[in-house]
């Protein structure tokens, strides 16, 4: 381990990894570069934005049987959000990275440069690319700047450093192509993980995490909107993008200040079933409603509502309200595999339902990224039914990312139990939805009924053509009963399923 005094304040600064060339003084925030046996000041880091991160310098864990310690961090921000990159030192002296974005984690290792890869501009979300003999799907493309750093790092990182990266996935396998230093890109490869699977130690405490995110005590802070004076409730530091419910100004929350960024013309209000600050208990964790947005399918006026929930320990979840029915939604960290008109997640097989385009029509509260009225996404749904439970996978694609989520139906009694009161329907969501929606609770959408009915007609015609020669045979009477049974087998289940759908 290398140690030397900080040339700015004299505090002792240590570099534990032999690969580390840069350190940030924990006292004066100076950025220091190692020069032989001394440290040289090359800049000053910005202040770290406190967030919901539970990892901190000194957090330990195990990955693939090897112990590690987090010894550095880079905070990266782009216009609509950001993420953390934790620099890991393993017990065997090797290093790696733990990325943390909206409660999702992945461990990766540098694998050298890649020649022949598509360019940063050409590799769009949804495209496939072969890397080192493995086929990946591009899921996220970002250009972000370093806003702050701490600890030790293998390269200088300050506000002048811009990261240009594309994430690609194959199941839980993750690859990142990094053009930060130009062509050819550097490959980082690893896999998505759950934080608990790393057996972490020395995490920030839940109370400390909640307090840093502004969610201790009153949970949501309330300040006057600088545009219209209406009270704005937001989670300081955790969700820095805030929308005033009254005048629809887009605000940036930093500490106790709100700064107007963009004003929206649509000031219409929505009556929602859940309010900002409401708390509910799911899976032994307490979640707080911190944001809500309304969306609709293109060409359809019916809206549904999506509520962003946050827990200091479990992170982010969604409650989705469609036509008075509810779903519990989790964003997936592993990419399902699309195959044969369906999708597979582990051992579960899902049938494709439909594809439609959505538009965001209303936003209120605070989020860990910046949603905007007018945001559009392409949604494709896949359905599975097992044991009387309906589960829907949804793939959402925008110009910058592809995300997958899993929605399960949430009975009204369970929702009331979670929030300690009956939860009614929002004004718009109480109306029947006539268009598609990710995770919607319709039992058999009309387009699926038409598809199944068309297949039934096709098989009926083929059966009739196959039986036509028998009409001129002497023993045709013996075929009447089997033909009737065949037609009943085709049409009776469809009829019963259609009636059940109309009555449900």
How far are the Cα atoms of 23, 25, 45, 275, 450 from residue 41, in angstroms, in the given order?
Answer: 10, 10, 11, 49, 70
Task: Kindly state the greatest CA–CA separation across the chain.
Answer: 108
Integer Cα distance of 254 and 214 in angstroms: 11
Residue 470 contacts residue 476 (beta carbons within 8 Å): yes
Q: Give Cβ neighbours of residue 20 (< 8 Å, ≥ 6 apart).
A: 34, 71, 72, 87, 152, 153, 154
Place of tokens 């393993």: 90
Integer Cα distance of 174 and 42 in angstroms: 33
Helices (H), 364-445: 412-419
3 state DSSP class of 353? strand
pLDDT at 241: 55
Residuewise pLDDT in 10s, the chain (504 residues): 788 888 888 888 888 888 888 888 888 888 878 887 777 777 777 666 666 788 999 999 999 999 999 999 999 988 778 899 999 999 999 999 999 988 899 999 999 999 988 899 999 999 999 999 999 999 999 999 988 899 999 988 877 788 999 999 999 999 999 999 889 999 999 999 999 999 999 998 766 555 555 433 334 455 666 666 666 655 544 445 566 656 666 665 544 454 444 444 344 678 899 998 899 999 999 999 989 999 999 988 899 999 999 888 888 899 999 988 999 999 999 999 998 889 999 999 999 999 999 999 999 888 878 888 899 999 999 999 988 889 999 999 999 999 999 999 999 999 999 999 999 888 766 554 444 444 444 433 433 444 455 556 666 676 676 666 655 565 556 666 776 776 666 666 555 444 333 333
What tokens were used for 55?
């990892």
Integer Cα distance of 434 and 442 in angstroms: 10
Residue 203 contacts residue 196 (beta carbons within 8 Å): no
pLDDT at 329: 96
Residues in the chain: 504
pLDDT at 121: 93
pLDDT at 265: 37
Residue 149 contacts residue 157 (beta carbons within 8 Å): yes
**What one-character-per-residue DSSP string does 212-261 give?**
HTT-SSSSSEEEE-TTT--EEEE-TTT--EEE-TTT-EEEEEETTEEEEE
């Amino acid at each position: 381990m290398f140690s030397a005094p900080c040339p700015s304040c004299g505090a002792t600064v240590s570099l534990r990894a032999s690969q580390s060339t840069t350190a940030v003084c924990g006292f004066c925030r100076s950025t220091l570069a190692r020069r032989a046996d001394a440290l040289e000041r090359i800049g000053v880091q910005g202040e770290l934005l406190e967030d919901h991160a539970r990892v901190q310098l000194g957090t330990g864990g195990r990955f693939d049987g090897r112990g590690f310690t987090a010894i550095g961090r880079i905070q990266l921000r782009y216009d609509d959000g950001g993420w953390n990159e934790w620099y890991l030192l393993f017990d065997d002296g090797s290093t790696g990275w733990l990325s943390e974005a909206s409660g999702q984690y992945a461990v990766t290792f540098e694998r050298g440069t890649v020649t022949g890869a598509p360019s940063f501009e050409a590799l769009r979300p949804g495209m496939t690319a072969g890397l080192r003999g493995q086929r990946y799907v591009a899921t996220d493309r970002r250009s972000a700047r370093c806003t702050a750093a701490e600890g030790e790092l293998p390269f200088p990182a300050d506000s002048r450093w811009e990261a240009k990266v594309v994430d690609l996935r194959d199941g839980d396998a993750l690859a990142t192509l990094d053009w930060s230093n130009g062509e050819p890109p550097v490959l980082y490869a690893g896999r998505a993980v759950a934080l608990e699977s790393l057996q972490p130690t020395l995490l920030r405490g839940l109370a400390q995490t909640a307090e840093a995110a502004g969610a201790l005590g009153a949970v949501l802070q309330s300040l006057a909107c600088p545009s219209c004076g209406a009270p704005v409730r937001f989670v300081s530091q955790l969700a820095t993008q805030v929308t005033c419910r009254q005048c629809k100004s887009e605000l940036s929350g930093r500490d106790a200040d709100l700064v107007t960024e963009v004003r929206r013309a649509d000031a219409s209000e929505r009556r929602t079933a859940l309010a900002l600050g409401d708390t509910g208990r799911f899976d032994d964790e307490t979640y707080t409603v911190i944001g809500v947005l309304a969306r609709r399918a293109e060409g359809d006026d019916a809206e549904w509502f999506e509520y962003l929930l946050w827990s200091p320990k479990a992170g982010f979840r969604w409650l989705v309200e469609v036509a008075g029915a509810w779903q519990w939604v989790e964003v997936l960290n592993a990419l399902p595999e699309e195959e044969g008109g369906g999708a597979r997640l582990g051992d579960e097989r899902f049938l494709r339902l439909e594809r439609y385009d959505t538009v965001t029509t209303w936003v209120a509260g605070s989020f860990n990224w910046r949603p905007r009225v007018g945001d559009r996404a392409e949604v494709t749904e896949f359905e599975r039914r097992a044991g009387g439970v309906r589960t829907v996978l949804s793939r959402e694609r925008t110009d910058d990312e592809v995300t997958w989520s899993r929605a399960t139906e949430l009975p009204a009694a369970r929702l009331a139990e979670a929030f300690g009161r009956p939860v009614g329907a929002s004004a718009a969501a109480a109306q029947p939805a006539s268009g598609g929606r990710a995770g919607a609770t319709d039992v058999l959408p009309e387009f699926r009924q038409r598809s199944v009915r068309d297949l039934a007609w096709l098989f009926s015609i083929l059966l009739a053509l196959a039986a036509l020669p028998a009409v001129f045979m002497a023993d045709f009477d013996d075929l009447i009963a089997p033909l009737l049974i065949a037609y009943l087998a085709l049409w009776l289940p469809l009829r019963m399923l259609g009636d059940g759908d109309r009555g449900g």
